[in-house]
Structure 1
Amino acid sequence: MMLGPFLFGAPLALIGLIALPVIWYILRATPPAPKEADLPSLRLLDDYTAQEEEPARTPWWILLLRLVAAAAAIIGLSQPVYAPGASPASESSGPVLVVLDNGWTSAARWSEMRTVAASALDGEARNTPAHLLLTAPRTLNVDPAERLSKTELPQRVNSLDPVSWDVDRANALERLDASGLQPGRIFWITDGLTPDTAIPFARDLAARAPLSIYAAPPRGPVAITGLSSDAEGASVELTRAALASDATYFVSALTLDGAAIGTAQAAFTEGNATALAGFDIPAAALARVARFQITGADGAGAVWLWDSSARSRRVGLVSGDATAQPLLSDMHYVRKALEPFASITEGDIVDLIAANPDAIIMTDIGRLSPDVEADVAAWVEKGGALIRFAGPRMAAQSDSLVPTPLRRSSRAIGGALTWEEPQSIGSFPDGSPFAGLSAPEDLKIRQQVLARPDPELANRTWARLTDGSPLVTAAPRGQGMLVLFHVTAGPDWSDVSYSGLFVEMLRRAIAAGRGEAVADAEGTYSPDIVLNGYGRLVSPDSSATPVAAADFADITPSEANPPGLYRGPAGTRAINAGDGATIRLMTDWPASARLLGDAEARSLRLGGPLLGLAGLLLAIDLIVALAIAGRLPLPGRASQAVIGVLALASLGVIAAPSADAQQPYRPSPYGYGISPGYGADINVKGEIDKATEAALDMRLAYIPTGDASVDRATLAGLRGLSLMLYRRTSVEPAEPHEVNPETDALDVYPVIFIGLSDAAAPLSADAVRRLNDYLRNGGALFIDTRRGGDAASTNNFADLERVLSGLDTPPLEPVPTDHVLTRSFYLLDGFPGRYENRRLWIESSGIGEKTERRGDGVSRLIIGDADYLAAWAVDERGRPIYSVDGGDEQREMARRFGINLIMYVLTGNYKEDQVHIPALLERLGQGDEGEDDFNIDDIPRIQDGGPQ
């Protein structure tokens, strides 16, 4: 029901207003309660006959207070909404048209929008039909003319997912007109964005039938709309729709397989729609980044794919300068410019060609031998980039491996035979890879080699001087590229090598290797990997089509060309959903539409405030009644004394923990109490994902097996081990994480545990592949088969092949008695768990054979069957859950092994360096004639199992 600008969700509750006159009459006729007082003199009137008197009336202000409270409660129960300019949809008959925005901006609140759309027929008659119109264009889109029943609509809506391209509302209206549908009511569930198309779309819908609108715009950042990078890092631009308040979000830089390289913070200020997240990380690490993603945000716009133009390159260096002073050679400047973002190899040209790098840089080599020239030419034609710098030798003669013919002599500027004054760098043509760079005006070019006039010279020029002379020229040769800097790589002929511009020019020039970062006018790019509507990388489907190279710069994401990485003649190129997107909220809703969801932002729900007002007034009335009746006496001396005693007792309770905190904490060897502060996480403002939590706080992790009892035991075991680490070491782990090896970032965890069950399901090939990558990158995997048994039984690792088929398992051996695991924190002579006398298996040391090992010597794989996790497991109060064969003493030794294990993983095998102490003492001059008798066992150490 609607009364003016007021909407009432439960109008029948307003019938209660009829009771207000009755309440007024009752309250008016009932006097306030009289005060009672015992006066001894009144006993003289005991025999007096009282005359009937008319009672005093209730004061008017108390009447008003109670009536207002009753009215506020009644009106509040009617669910009133103040919504100026909005009106409810009129009652109508006929089909209901459900219009659903399913573009990439809907992903942030898609589950909510889908739920609302599925309930569009709630409250309608059983036989009321529904029709569905999706605003994102697709080849096989839902036909608006298709009739859906009350049971079919939720099924159809729940099967839908957002797409990774934008909506086209004009196309949706064309499809609606073509269907010939005449709806009786329209329900539009929208992302609430893009008013340029939303306003005419809403007006058109409102003109067809009564319209209800449910708006659900993203509440956080909507998209990454731009990226810029240089030799010092990268910066991404985030855009949001809501500008009301300050907000902070995080952006992660990820490799293509999801490993986190770095995280940056983007801070929005009130009133600003954009914010920058800067990544100040080494260029070598930045070159590994394949995508940037807003932490905790869904949608294709929350991901920015970075194509191969910024990847790390393998570069070979060949110098024509045989100077004995390498710091004075031209190659020194090239090397320093490339080191941050390229893998450099120096050597002979033939050896470099055999290594097949992305680019070869030569400084002042005028002419190659015919056979070497032929080899280099063949390498370039296969996709290599040959980058050459001029010099005296090239000025005298050159071979055919230059992008344009050269004059025989160099051009001296500002010298004795000056042509004119030294020149500055002029411009970078639009088609040049250097386009967009800024050249400082104080960079001067004093000498260069000149190109002969040629009709193609302008097309081959990447950089010019202020007088128009080419500074850098390039030309394709087969699939590769020839690039020539017409000056020396050092400071002899120019000042370019002194500037940061030199770094950027080289970085973009070497990207021409394999034909990348080149203005290719021909060829096509085929979709390699694409983003779905939720922002996840998936394989392209049959609807994704190649893109012509000439059209790639102007491409708009669509079903045929979804956001993703496309591979073609210039490597990979990216289409990003949020590239240059303008994000604005829709505010001009049609006055005739009924507003729901976030579209009600300009309306005010009055039910809660009115009920709160009623409660407040009733509380005031109660206090007034108690005061009039004399039930609120002022506190006397006795009451003040009681209050004082309670206050002192409270202070004593508060002070007691402070006094205890001064005492050193000495845990009992077999104590199970939870340590103060264990499990406290760092308080981070804003929502963060699992990977960021693990990066901020060291956490143990485990992979679930699908067996609920085993997974509970594993989690309890890791909690118990974390507790012991917190109580006894400087390691303070936070709550353990359950990780999915297919989707979660693994590199942020130092060790991952697996407790195998008899019915554990095999891991997928993708999960095993990511586990292999995790182990190769320095991670550690602890597998507990939980089989146990007696000392004579052999270790059975059959489940590993079944559950972890394809895991790159190195050769294993039992832990030697002198291994660092026996002394990394406690001195141990065994590794008991729930079962004792069991052997622990680690990666073979590889003595006498070549075995791939991690740099710090820590075994990547540790396997046991003593059910260690059950021995470590504790409940919420820190008490053991499972029994242990050897009782508390064996449980304590199992805990000590767990601590040794984590110390071993975190610190490596540094304690094995103790064997070098005699040599170190000898070098320090501390050895004497008896140093040959030095024994490592003479070093004092704790023999009772205490920490080293």
Structure 2
Amino acid sequence: MTALGPFLFGAPWALAALIALPVIWWILRATPPAPKDIELPSLRILDDMEPKEETPARTPWWVWLIRTLAVTAAILGLSQPVYAPGARTDSVEGSGPLLIVMDNGWPSAPRWSELVNAATATLDTGSRDMPVHLLLTAPQQLNNDPSERLTTTDAAKRISSLRPQPWGTSREDALARLDAAGLKPARIFWASDGLENAGGRAFAADLSARAPLTVFAAPPHTPAAITGLTSETDSVAVTLRRVETSGEERAFVSALTLDGSALATAEATFSDGETDATASFTIPAAALARIARFTVTGRQGAGTVWLWDSSDRSRRVGLVDAGAAAQPLLSDMHYVRKALEPFASITEGSVETLVAESPDAIILADVGQILPEDEKRLADWVENGGALIRFAGPRLAAQGDDLLPVPLRRASRALGGALAWDEPQALAPFSESSPFDGLTVPPDVRITQQVLARPGPELSSHTWARLADGSPLVTADARGNGTIILFHITAGPDWANLAYSDLFPQMLRRCIAAGRGESVNDEEGAYTPKLVLDGYGRLQSPGPAAAPLKAADFAGIAPSEAHPPGLYQGPAGTRALNAARNAKLERIAAWPPAARLLGDAEARAMRLAGPLLSLAAVLLALDLFVALLVAGHLPRPGRRSGMAAVLLLAGMLVAPSPHASAQEYQYRLMPDGSYRRVPTGPQIIPLPRGDAPQSDVDAALRMRFGYVKTPDFALNERARAGLFGLSTTLYNRTSVEPEMPDELDLETSPLELYPLIYFAVPQGAAPLSERAIARLNAYLRSGGALVIDTRDGDTPGSTEITRLETLLEGLDAPPLQPVPSNHVLTRSFYLLADFPGRYAGRQLWIEQAGSASAPRGDGVSGLFIGDADWISAWAVDERGRDLYSVDGGEDQREMARRFGVNLVMYILTGSYKDDQVHLPALLERLGDGDASPGGFGPSPPRNNPARDEPQFLPNGVPQ
């Protein structure tokens, strides 16, 4: 090549054509000979007219300027010029071996194109026959041999095909390969990343001692890497590091999913003199759990990407909402929620909602019957890798389903108490095969009741935790890619005090991890590369050189060709190996005195042949356009079209930018399960249409009872008359003033608007539909009361509860019990000893959880089952006359009405009169004092009249 200042010419003889430019200019300025004048007599009439167009005497100056520039650009382009400000005249014709050293580790990725341009520009400064050798500093198995001789053309192609590696440089390895090659270069060019990592100054000194050294140092001007991450349950912060410390600088970090969808962007600000900055993200927990990586916006490279593995990420746990609890602080979910809060983000909702959000685990607390559609959703979710954690209780002990790890006995085992032979059991130490291995068992944890598993040959392999007597406490079963886990006790303190110990949250944490196929103690395992990063920070499949990594070595391993940065799958799920983890980026401050340093402008080489030839083509096209326009072969723009163009341009300038106004955003769950940013500005929300039936509106405004619609029309009329009579009695005797009862369809009516629903079961009734059972379960969980009356009281014996199992199959109810004699239902308004209806001496069954001796929640039962035919005893016509006879006459009818009043008061007010159970003992204690008869103070104790017959005052208020 021939040098002319900062320009190099590959075909300098083409410049000789520039000598012809004056001749070309003279030809372009030449004009044709003047026309010959001939006067005609008839042309005298045109003497006073001036011509509008005149032929110029010579070519306009701007025409010949365009043509001259086009010819000049074509000549210069054919000479193959190269702009190389770093070229030296004395080294242009050098023919000695040239060694090009390139740093191709992850720090060079942000400015890789500049390093390639600098190395290519160095090739242009030598002769075409100059031998070239290439040395790369990022170690890899198939690296270039420095002794391999390349031509300038082959070297340019090979350098252009190079890509940065996702691991760091090893300059010691590069020097060892250079020594093994025995190469003696005439000059050395080092395209450096400018960082001190891996001995940068010592490497530069060694190269300078071998041959004249030219260095192009290209440290990143913007944030170079993400070096760390800290996370909480609802936020995460990433740490950025830069090389230059002068001045204030801003950077933006994007949070991406595994498929590359952006969920959020945060800003990090570097203060003057600081090397580190933090970008904080505060987004919904569900969206936070979908983040798989963070990347610096606009900067490519493996160092500017941070992969977020499952071990650092907070767990997403869904709690199935079982309805409003009367006393939330005493509910099982309260203890589960408190145990999960330190390490998990919690979402509550229905099974359908939680499965759609796909959390790490879903927890059910004492749910006996799961709806068939919800059971199908949970089964599919577990098969795809979910962890379903369940807790036992009275409901699960009475009836189970298929989503259990082991078969259960339909009863619970009481440990300790007045009627139990066994003592409360402690926990046995966890076995080595259990996910709880390594946890310390508190000595004061005691189990007082549990659900027993049926013995079987596989029970031992499904057991994760046992009691001291060997009975299972926690069992599990793998289903597809997920796991079903069962605690054989309640989540609250009813059956054990495990919820009060520090062991409970640790067991839940390991259940969630183990349920998703992850392990906590994984020192003996191995991790296989799943997805790895390339040098530009893009995820791809691992190459053939990527090898598994021992779990014990994971924390201290440095990325390399055998272990590239990426996501590794192993016993604890996915773990991330990041390229710039804890990286210390320091710029090389001192260079060897003999080394020549190139700046950005000097290292840049630009080939100008293509742009110059393109300019010549554009100028020639412009000349052709002008010639056609002057010749009249093109339409000329008129005034109207010119005005339209001006108005269009003005409109484009005045129109506001779509991003001009400030807009706030929030994250919203889309139908496909992803989260997207949506504007939160003012929106017009249409009001709901008023198409609700009038009966629903009336039920929402005024309290009224409901009865279940059955195929028996006469029975429906009897139920309506019975509830109308009960409502009339309440209106006359209490402050409760119900309206006329409503007929309810269990599949369509709004059940939650009715505090009491009466179900008179007809003879030969068909089983309820799945939708009806689901809506009844939701109604009972939300605090409703369901009274089921089989009206079979004329049959001798007790109420046949088993006959209802087919009719109510799927109803989530705990075990039932007859109403105890001291139950609050016997004294909620009147003092009662029996609950008669049309038939007397019949049993009333309620939830066992509603017993005053073992209260759960507020101690109020939501389910009442009997066969006394109460509606017949309550039924009256519109004039208040009784419609049906009662076996015991009017006295029994009166007692039936008082039971109805007690029932409604119990449902509406709960257990506020539960303290009357202890009233005799309180009176007896107070009677031991010195109070005299007739004065202030309690009277002497007497027998409880409620044992003999109900006592009440004339106004209906209980005594």
TM normalised by structure 2 equals 0.44
TM normalised by structure 1 equals 0.44
Structure of higher CA gyration radius: 2
